[in-house]
Amino acid sequence: MSMIYQELFEIGPEAQQMSVGVRPFHHPQLSSLAEHHIHFMGVSEARGQFHVERMGAPFHILLIGVEGQGEIIDGERRLILGPNQLAVLPAYGHRGFQRRSEHWRFAWLLLDDVPYWNKLAGSQASVVSVQYAHNLFYALHTLCFEARIEQKSQACSALLLVMALLQRMLSGAVPSAALPNRLQQLFTGILYAPTQGWRVDVLAQQYGVSAAHFQRLCLKHLGATPQQLIIQHRMQRAHQLLSSGNHSVSDVAIMVGYEEVASFSRRFRSHFGLPPGEISRAQHRKQSDTHPSITPN
């Protein structure tokens, strides 16, 4: 994905922001954002100068208003974003936002322009009312703090909460995406309880269709079979647990529902292209570099 675009970024010292990104130059960096196709996200307390515009940016922007008002820029159009409202600024085009009230508190996400976020694509920005904006704001706030912790961080768990709250918000705010979102929500539970015996026929029953029709729906709207999606979610959770640096490979295998470490390792390597031990070793090296041991003379 090309990241070449024009940007006007005018934010004064009165504004306060916290963020987390997927790229190495972001601080802090959280590589697991890539699994959700998130480029950058955070929370802002806008005061004083606060004006952002982009032309041709290859990512969708979501803004969730919590307090005060902002103004959405969509070419020549101007939309007001107030509390408990969601603004969707589709990728490309001439879009931006600026502070309107004395104090504007909001959460924001920059989402890659990939099929996973196709429901956000469009020719115009939009603003809709949503519920629980504060919940998403404070979950994202917590994630930004946790991502700064080097050891025993709960950033991966906080990210799961942010994604669950975001999907709930989008399922109510973007009606055209109701079917894919409803399907996706069935599989989200795997991230929270990967050791359960997840079965395709049970998921199909929960959705209210036959197993064969459920398979066709998943292939059409999610691009994978139900069994592939179960494995994807288990592997995603395993990667998050290993990236935290708090668990061994054998522990993670059990935590995501595998009785044999060898079977888990083969599946992990097949899914990510490298053994699970490499993720664990990389995290330990990172922690050692950040906190080198001191040997007394």
Which residue has better confidence, 191 or 53? 53
pLDDT exceeds cutoff 60 at 291: no
- The architecture in CATH of the region 200-290 reads Orthogonal Bundle (1.10)
How crowded is the C-beta side of 190, counted as CA atoms within 13 Å? Answer: 26
pLDDT value, residue 242: 87
pLDDT exceeds cutoff 70 at 140: yes
Which residue has better confidence, 30 or 290? 30
pLDDT value, residue 258: 93
Provide the b/e sequence for 198-226 (b: ≥16 CB within 10 Å): bebeebbeebeeeeeebbebbeeebeeeb
pLDDT value, residue 297: 42
Residue 179 pLDDT grade (very low, low, confident, very high; cuts 50, 70, 90): low
pLDDT digits (tens, 9 = 90+) for 28-63: 889 889 888 999 999 999 999 999 999 999 999 999
Which segment of 10-24, 33-47, 90-104, 197-211 scores lowest on mean pLDDT?
Answer: 197-211
* Averaged pLDDT score across all residues of the chain: 87
Residue 227: DSSP 8-state: H
Residue 283 pLDDT grade (very low, low, confident, very high; cuts 50, 70, 90): low
In the chain, the largest separation of any two C-alpha atoms, in whole Å, equals 71
Residue with tokens 């920005």: 125
pLDDT digits (tens, 9 = 90+) for 223-263: 889 999 999 889 988 888 888 778 899 999 999 999 999 99
- The architecture in CATH of the region 6-173 reads Sandwich (2.60)
pLDDT value, residue 296: 44
Do residues 249 and 242 touch, judged by C-beta distance below 8 A?
yes
What does 127-189 look like in DSSP terms, one character per residue?
Answer: EEE-S-HHHHHHHHHHHHHHTT-SSS--HHHHHHHHHHHHHHHHHHH-GGGHHHHHHHHHHHH
Q: If phi over 0 gives left and psi between -120 and 50 gives alpha, with beta otherwise, what is residue 180?
A: alpha
Domain spans of the chain? 6-173, 200-290
pLDDT value, residue 188: 80
Do residues 23 and 29 touch, judged by C-beta distance below 8 A?
yes
Distance CA(87)–CA(241), nearest Å, equals 32
Distance CA(77)–CA(164), nearest Å, equals 31
Which residue has better confidence, 208 or 165? 165
Residue 10 pairs in a beta bridge with: 51
Please state, for a pLDDT cut of 70, what percent of the chain lies above it.
90
First vs last C-alpha separation in the chain: 51
pLDDT exceeds cutoff 90 at 265: yes
